[in-house]
C-alpha cells in the first residue's frame, strides 16, 4: 500500500510502517496531492496528525491547477471537518491562505452557503475583507450568487466589527 493510499484510507498502521522507511518522502506529490492533502480531505485526523509529526509540510500546495493547501482540502470535506481544520490550524495552517483564483476557505464556505463553517472560520481569524483575484470578498460572492444565509452571516459579522 502506498503512503498516499494509507493517508487517504486513514490506515495509521500502514502509514507508520511507510514513515519508518527513511527513504519515504512525506511531502511527495502524487496525482497532484500530498499525503496530508488526502488525509485532510478524507477527514482522517489520526493519519494527518501522524504525517505532521513526521514532517509533513502544512503549507504544501497541491501539484495541480487548484494549487491548494491541506486546509483547503479539509474544507472541501464534511467528515470531521471542524476537528481536522482545528488540528491543521494548531499546526500553523493559514486560515487566509489562497488557492487558485484567490479563493480562501471563507470564500469556499460562502460559495457553499454554509453559515456554520463561515462562523467557524471567522472565529479562527478568517479575514472577511480578503478578495479573490476577481476582487470579490466572501460577502460579495454570496450576494452575487444570491446565497442569502451566507450573505446574512457575513454582513452581520462585518457590521458588528465596525
Average pLDDT over residues 93-110: 97
Please tell me whether residues 5 and 75 are part of one structural domain.
yes
Given this model, what pLDDT does residue 57 score? 98
**Does the pLDDT at position 109 exceed 70?**
yes
Given this model, what pLDDT does residue 160 score? 73
User: Would you mind telling me the total number of residues written for the chain in this entry?
Assistant: 162
pTM for the complete prediction? 0.93
Please give the helix or strand (H or E) that residue 128 lies within, else none: none
Q: Domain ends where: 78, 94, 110?
A: 94
* Residue-averaged pLDDT of the chain: 95
The domain that holds 62 is classified in CATH as 1.25.40.20
Q: Domain ends where: 43, 77, 94?
A: 94
Please tell me whether residues 14 and 76 are part of one structural domain.
yes
Q: Which domain holds residue 58?
A: 1-94
Please give the helix or strand (H or E) that residue 22 lies within, else none: none
Handedness of CA 82, 84, 85, 91 (dihedral sign): positive
**Does the pLDDT at position 162 exceed 70?**
no
Given this model, what pLDDT does residue 136 score? 97
DSSP annotation of 62: P
Report whether 133 contacts 125 (CB < 8 A): no
Q: Domain ends where: 94, 109, 134?
A: 94
Please tell me whether residues 66 and 133 are part of one structural domain.
no
Average pLDDT over residues 73-100: 94
DSSP for 81-126, please give it: HHHHHHHHHHTT--TT---GGG--HHHHHHHTT-HHHHHHHHHTT-
Given this model, what pLDDT does residue 161 score? 67
Given this model, what pLDDT does residue 159 score? 77
- Give the rounded percent of residues in the chain with a pLDDT score beyond 70: 99
Collect all residues with Cβ–Cβ distance below 8 Å to 146 and sequence separation of at least 6: none
Per-residue pLDDT of 118-131, as tens digits, reads: 999 999 999 999 99
Please tell me whether residues 133 and 55 are part of one structural domain.
no
**Does the pLDDT at position 141 exceed 90?**
yes
Please tell me whether residues 88 and 102 are part of one structural domain.
no
List the grid coordinates of 43: 477527514
Given this model, what pLDDT does residue 78 score? 79
Per-residue pLDDT of 80-93, as tens digits, reads: 889 999 999 999 99
For the chain, how many structural domains are there in total? 2
Please tell me whether residues 13 and 83 are part of one structural domain.
yes
Please tell me whether residues 53 and 121 are part of one structural domain.
no
Amino acid at each position: 500500500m502506498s503512503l498516499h493510499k494509507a493517508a487517504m484510507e486513514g490506515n495509521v498502521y500502514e502509514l507508520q510502517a511507510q514513515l519508518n522507511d527513511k527513504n519515504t518522502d512525506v511531502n511527495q506529490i502524487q496525482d497532484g496531492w500530498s499525503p496530508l492533502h488526502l488525509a485532510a480531505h478524507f477527514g482522517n485526523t489520526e493519519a494527518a496528525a501522524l504525517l505532521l509529526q513526521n514532517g509533513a509540510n502544512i503549507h504544501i500546495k497541491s501539484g495541480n491547477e487548484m494549487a491548494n493547501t491541506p486546509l483547503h482540502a479539509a474544507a472541501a470535506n464534511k467528515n470531521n471537518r471542524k476537528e481536522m481544520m482545528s488540528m491543521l490550524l494548531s499546526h500553523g495552517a493559514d486560515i487566509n491562505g489562497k488557492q487558485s483564483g484567490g479563493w480562501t476557505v471563507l470564500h469556499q464556505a460562502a460559495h457553499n452557503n454554509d453559515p456554520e463553517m463561515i462562523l467557524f472560520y471567522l472565529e479562527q481569524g478568517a479575514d472577511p475583507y480578503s478578495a479573490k483575484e476577481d476582487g470579490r470578498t466572501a460577502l460579495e460572492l454570496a450576494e452575487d450568487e444570491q446565497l442569502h444565509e451566507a450573505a446574512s452571516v457575513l454582513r452581520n459579522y462585518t457590521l458588528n466589527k465596525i
